[in-house]
Structure 1
Amino acid sequence: MTEVAKGGLSLSGLTKNFGNFVAVDNVDLEIRRGEFLTLLGPSGSGKTTLLMMIAGFLDISAGDILLDGTSIREVPADKRNFGMVFQGYALFPHMTVRQNVGYALDVRGRPKAEIKARVDEMLDLVQLQDFGHRKPGQLSGGQQQRVALARALSFAPPVLLLDEPLGALDKKLRIEVQAQLKEIHRRVGTTFIYVTHDQEEALSMSDRIVIMQNGRVEQLGTPTELYERPRTRFAAGFLGKSNFLIEGGATYTLRPEKIDLAPKGHINGAARLTGTIRSITYLGSMRKYMINVEGRDDIEVDVDSWRNPHELNEGQQVDLGWSDQAAVKLDED
């Protein structure tokens, strides 16, 4: 499937104030053509406000947005020609799937033959070729979301904005639709800007992730970069699980799965710390151990169940070890 090679966005000093409250604070961001960029952060971090400014639904207090080098700050939302997918689907219940998907083309006055061909193409893209005659109420949540995606892509927008689109789905279905969404992005090549608070979702789909806090960009990078080399305590703690260790006046982050655990005196190499198992939680594929270490916060250690070589019990003394590369020094927040 071939789409026009547009969709590069440049955000410069982008700011949004609601009275005295600064929701988005001087954000600079380059969004590459055709990439899958995720805005990730907790509630109130500014990610949805940022998306709504890009969409044109919120006025900009300061700064500018360039689309392929041209300012769109004063361009109204309906003239930006961006696609939009919401959590609530926003499908027309009285229309069939085909009518929903073709709606944006119909209101643009496209010829009927062109609309039919494009709807066929979109239904093939989202694997709903046999559901065109159905109404939204006859579809599952995942199918409805795919219809909404097909409708948003039907007019070949340069940018597709997705605001928590999988939030209404259960976990199993979310994982399935994540894989479908990533494949659709690969096929169409459209710039996707995706908002979520779900860390696993961001890690599994994104080319790059923007971690946001208090209206600002906390850190930007690929999923691997952000997980393996977080720069701040907030980034390390929000994206995945982390232990925080203070050594020599500096703070280090240490992922739970990167720690070796063994009965006291039985660890390979030198033990870094010795503690007592406070609790063990069995999670199927892994066991989570909370280790009480005197003078420190409890340390979490995650061990794959299948490779757990030791029979460990609550109250047992254990040694903890890790490689020098496993602990990452953080910048000061």
Structure 2
Amino acid sequence: MIDNRGSRRILSFSFCFIISCIVIIVIVKRSDKIDTTIYNTDSSLLSTSCKHVSIDELDRWFHSKKWNEIPKIIHQTWKNKTLRQRQARWSQTWCDQYTNWYYHLWTDDENDLFVRTKFPWFYPTYNKLSPAILRVDSVRYLYMLYYGGLYIDLDYESVRRIDALFTNKSVVLSLINYSFNSMNSVPNSWMASRPNHPLWTYILHRIILLWSRASDKERNEFWNGKAEFFTGPQSLFEGLMFYLHTIQHTDETLDQLFGNKQNQNADSILEVANITFLGPKLNNAYDWMNGIGADVCSAEKATFDEKKCQDVVKPIYAITYWSHSYGHGHENDLNYLGDEKKTR
């Protein structure tokens, strides 16, 4: 009888070797899959800050998608890339909280190129607007029309994220108060939008029309109040009302369109013709028109104190200190909004 014990041992060893190889291959493949998964994860989601992008990077990202929502891009603008110290700190609060958003700080030169190349029909008016604040006012409507996203003035501080309110929204505006007779109650200092929303074309064509009709005296007179009328919150308000009246086929006031006065609370969220309006406390908190907390909340005052201001007005999502960096004699004051210890 032939002894098969040696053959069985060889067979057993071969079987174990094959099984071991299979296990090793499976482990390696799983490891590769895990590595690939980690590699493909959007790095911005793992970041502790927003992602600062160049215009080229912004364009590549923006044009790689079809948008039916508010894009996750924050726009801010300043004369150059060097912000004043308080501006930089307030701006950083948005980046610290909106960690999966993109961010671009537009300079005056970038704005000029943007308008000239993307909106040649508006550029002749844009190029003539003076003082500079009129161009800064108008270009933000063009950010909203072209890219959408979120525009924020540099004197806004984020308290906590608000973008959960953007779901299924087309345009989101933020009220100062419900005193609509002044036409300053819907500021252009904080706006969110989907790209290509028609509201912005109403506002831009109003600017073209009014500037073309203005006399040299009206264009060159003292600027205070001119900015609000030609390109600022009054321009936004009138363009908004033209749009709402057209869409709603009505001539009702914004008060009437909002409906029951009892709905108009400090923390209300109101909808008219697919435009969302955030109540004053949600996103502005400090109301410069009614002066509540002005001594500590106005960045223009020597008594300005951010902590005391927030204790007074108790902002929910964000607060603006209405610094008026352009105009009021501040644009050439290099110490304005500088280090707190030096400016107090």
Return the index of the structure with the highest Cα Rg: 2
Structure holding more helix per residue: 2
Could you say whether these structures have the same fold, taking a TM-score greater than 0.5 normalized by the shorter chain as the test? no
**TM tier relative to shorter chain:** under 0.3
TM-score normalised per structure 1 = 0.25
TM-score (ref. length: structure 2): 0.25
